[in-house]
Structure 1
Amino acid sequence: MPAEARAHIDDLAAFVQASPSSYHAADEARRRLVEGGFTALAEADAWDLAPGGRYVVVREGSVIAFALPAAATATTPFQIVGAHTDSPSFKLKPKPTTIGTGGWWQLGWEVYGGPLLNSWLDRELILAGRIVTLAGDEHLVRTAPIARIPQLAVHLDRGVNNDGLSLDKQRQTAPVWGLGDAESADILAVLAADAGVDPEEIGGFDIVAADSQAPRVFGAHDEFFASGRMDNLLSTHAGLIAIQGAKPESAIAMFAAFDHEEIGSSSRSGAAGPFHEEVLTRILAAFGAGADERARSFAQSLHVSSDVGHSVHPNYSERHDTVNQPVAGGGPILKINANQRYATDAHGAAAWNAACERAGVPSQEFVSNNTMPCGSTIGPISATRLGIRTVDVGAPILSMHSARELTAVVDPWFLSRAMGEILAK
């Protein structure tokens, strides 16, 4: 295994641990970029952009960074790598503290996205996200391991191993987080203490659960990597590394990672919202672009939408296409779907395959078994909203939407290297 691949995966592990929520992921990306010489922009300020400049802007759980070539003009095209910062999980309800039978302190939460519910059982979970005070101040918070969804013992469900496990999302996913006097139970007080504010000052909160187990490398030759939130921090991290090293010559290099992909992207900070388009427009406007120049820029631009994809599963190979079977360690995948659940077309495929060739990394294709409809990504959403040619790619993993997913150590490194070639134009 190349030393660079191991260094990349160790840094991915650190990024995951720093990013238990989308808000933390966007903030960690911003922090790293600013430390690397990018200038932080505020949306409410006027932007004074200079050719050759490097900038980053955050909206809630989304982050966009860009590097301008020295000869940037009103019609300079964009080379974009996109991802998302959120993952399937659970999100606290407005009255989150409940008392269960037997004096157990429990939490009331909603299912966020489409997690594999059984994978969240019997894990020590943290709570993370943001709280906003009545004065409007935002605080990122994260607890120590505090909650656990306990599974029912096999003695009380004798058929579970034969009949399968089916969980009621309301009654059977509520975690325990304490015992004792009901009047002492207040999860908001725990979060307030982490933020250093009075619980009475909390005006709102967006808090999700995350697995507390650290990512790790394992396998006969340390070839595997297991982690929570790999969907889609794997791609977010790969894009972050690529933009940090970008030195564009003729195009504007951009990294864009959005919140809320797991629930459809329809939010002010999601890929279906206005954030991306507003940033693209403001960049070109800094060089005097109007509607005509913007259209000319977009017509020459490329967006590489990166999200994890399915590696062929050794125990369920019949669920995959019989010929197109991406393998772990085989390099990034090009996602193709006739019904445009992925945005890839022939020109986009050619651009991606050329980037992989320049990077010296292997590549492979993913297409669904016709009896297994595929999911989708930010790719078709961004392509529809912006009209920029888009290609869908990713890294092959197992256990997608599990609390803990699996990839080959080399594949995230391969993916980031190919992204780097996209941004080098």
Structure 2
Amino acid sequence: MSDDAHRPATSTAPDLRGLDARARELCAFVDASPSPYHATAEVTRRLEGAGFRVLEETEAWPTEPGHHLVRRGGSLAAWSTAHLPADAPAATPFRVVGGHTDSPNLRVSPSPDASSAGWDQLVVEVYGGPLLNSWLDRDLGLSGRVAVRDASSPFGVAERLVRVDEAVLRVPQLAIHLDRSTNDGLALNPQRHLTPIWGATGAAPTFDAWLAELLDVAPTDVLAWDVMTHDLTPSGPLGREADLVAAPRLDNLGTSYAGTAALLDAVDALEGSGPEASGAPHIPFLVLFDHEEIGSTTSSGGDSTFLPAVLERVVLARGGSREDHLRALAGSLIVSADMAHATHPNYADLHEPNHRIEINGGPVLKVNSRGRYASDAPGSGAFALACEQARVPMQVFRSRGDMPCGSTIGPMSAALTGATTVDVGAPMLSMHSARELTGAKDPGMYVAALTACLSPR
């Protein structure tokens, strides 16, 4: 999918010169990826620039070695076999880094046109578990994909990307004069209080007509959409010494960026070192799923056939059998990478006191004895060795024993493949806010650790 309709913003980008190269690249990646579909397009652009070839699931895959990627909706998988020696067995194991492309937000409903008290509004639905108050009084753009009529495409439908980086929406908060109890605890009803305004004309076009004009198609050709809001404030440095990065969607575009950079660095390392120096042959593999924030049980989520099917097809394309595929999985390592909670200075008592996590303190190993994270001793040891190889410190996160723990794609990936799996991340604050915070040094350390996971020495 190409970026078919893009209306750019007029705001000035922040000065990124105070950040190191990895932090600058992270900011550029996040700003290029307002939706999961734009994120996979951006990853594809970067990988194609390095010689990766896009494959289609509906076609036969090449048997010759090379760099390849495949997409399914807002999900993507990429791998390289170009470095493998000619006698590498069909059961060669995988080294997988997995993340996700989606983030909590507000998504435009199928019948969104509304008006109240003279205001033009769009009905939205909450996606995932956002901090709802963080979406109030923000200038919001729109992005996603639109299904348009096209007789030459599968099902008669073509996908078009759409992106509007202008302040077209806003969810206005009620003035304190009309609710003096607001500061005692803001309670937002998603149905009543989160409908954005996008004008005060009383004569707004229907949303499908507005999309049709943006895409230069007939209104009757707009059939459906997956369109969502995104914060328009550009990513950039924060802090007296510019030692922080403020950005939207760090959960989990921080990993989507780091995983992509790590795959490219690992491929370079494996091809440059030769089979003897790189240790036992293995296949570096990146998978980025959509729909993690809503449970992953979709056709392109972490609980789908996407990862198992692509891994098996890689083995089959190399001449292997089902037996070789199962042997490859048994020797594989999956690194489920998602962002991690740094210890919050204003709420330090809500963190496990023996497992404090620092911003700019290095990648985070996540552990949970109830299986909410997939980390076990062998996987945890493998990640510790990767951090040692990358020469970066490793931190260990465990939630308080009296608090529930979130989860990731890790447990389901482990269950679907049987591969050794470990959950890791990079530290951040304000997770699931419209605007999040990480350390300026963390992207570089995160990339280095994931690179070492994909190209162990």
The TM tier, using the shorter chain, reads: over 0.9
Matched, 1:40 2:54: yes
User: What is the aligned length?
Assistant: 419
How far does residue 49 in structure 1 lie from its aligned partner after superposition?
3.4
Q: Which residue, out of 117, 126, 132, partners 2:141?
A: 126
Q: Which residue, out of 145, 159, 162, partners 2:167?
A: 145
How far does residue 189 in structure 1 lie from its aligned partner after superposition?
2.5
Q: Which residue, out of 23, 26, 31, partners 1:9?
A: 23
Query: In the alignment, which residue of structure 1 is the partner of 2:153?
Result: none
4+ runs deviating over 4 angstroms: none
Query: In the alignment, which residue of structure 2 is the partner of 1:73?
Result: 89
Matched, 1:228 2:242: no
Matched, 1:84 2:105: no
Measure the CA separation in 2 of the matches of 1:195 and 1:383. Answer: 41
How far does residue 187 in structure 1 lie from its aligned partner after superposition?
2.4
Query: In the alignment, which residue of structure 2 is the partner of 1:55?
Result: 68
Contact (CA 8 Å) 1:227, 1:406: kept in 2 or not? yes
Query: In the alignment, which residue of structure 2 is the partner of 1:376?
Result: 407
How far does the alpha carbon of each residue in 1:166-219 deviate from its partner, in whole angstroms, 9 at most, with x for none?
A: 00110100010111133x332223322332222220111111111111011011
Contact (CA 8 Å) 1:356, 1:363: kept in 2 or not? yes
TM-score under structure 2 length normalisation:
0.90
Query: In the alignment, which residue of structure 1 is the partner of 2:392?
Result: 361
Measure the CA separation in 1 of the matches of 2:389 and 2:206. Answer: 55
**Identity of counterpart residues, as a percentage?**
46
Aligned CA RMSD, in angstroms, stands at 1.3
Unaligned residue ranges in structure 1 (runs of 5+):
none
Measure the CA separation in 2 of the matches of 1:176 and 1:117. Answer: 16
Equivalent position SS for 1:49:
coil
Q: Which amino acid aligns with 2:147?
A: V
Q: Which residue, out of 192, 195, 198, partners 2:212?
A: 192
How far does residue 294 in structure 1 lie from its aligned partner after superposition?
1.1
Unaligned residue ranges in structure 2 (runs of 5+):
1-16, 151-156, 276-280
Contact (CA 8 Å) 2:54, 2:69: kept in 1 or not? yes
Contact (CA 8 Å) 1:67, 1:246: kept in 2 or not? no
Equivalent position SS for 1:9:
helix
Equivalent position SS for 2:287:
strand
How far does the alpha carbon of each residue in 1:360-402 deviate from its partner, in whole angstroms, 9 at most, with x for none?
A: 1111000001122110000001111111111000001000000
Measure the CA separation in 2 of the matches of 1:189 and 1:214. Answer: 29
TM-score under structure 1 length normalisation:
0.96
Measure the CA separation in 2 of the matches of 1:211 and 1:259. Answer: 19
Query: In the alignment, which residue of structure 2 is the partner of 1:401?
Result: 432
Contact (CA 8 Å) 2:142, 2:228: kept in 1 or not? yes
Matched, 1:420 2:451: yes
How far does residue 36 in structure 1 lie from its aligned partner after superposition?
1.3
How far does residue 413 in structure 1 lie from its aligned partner after superposition?
1.3
Query: In the alignment, which residue of structure 2 is the partner of 1:113?
Result: 128
Q: Which amino acid aligns with 2:35?
A: S
Measure the CA separation in 1 of the matches of 2:387 and 2:216. Answer: 47
How far does residue 289 in structure 1 lie from its aligned partner after superposition?
1.8
How do 1:132-171 residues align onto structure 2 when only pairs under 5 Å count? 132-135=147-150, 136-143=157-164, 144-161=166-183, 163-171=184-192
Q: Which residue, out of 219, 222, 237, partners 2:239?
A: 219
Contact (CA 8 Å) 2:108, 2:228: kept in 1 or not? yes
Contact (CA 8 Å) 1:142, 1:191: kept in 2 or not? no
How far does residue 33 in structure 1 lie from its aligned partner after superposition?
0.5
How do 1:229-308 residues align onto structure 2 when only pairs under 5 Å count? 229-247=249-267, 248=270, 249=275, 250-308=281-339
Equivalent position SS for 2:260:
helix
How far does residue 316 in structure 1 lie from its aligned partner after superposition?
0.3
Q: Which amino acid aligns with 1:137?
A: A
Query: In the alignment, which residue of structure 2 is the partner of 1:97?
Result: 113
How far does residue 134 in structure 1 lie from its aligned partner after superposition?
2.4
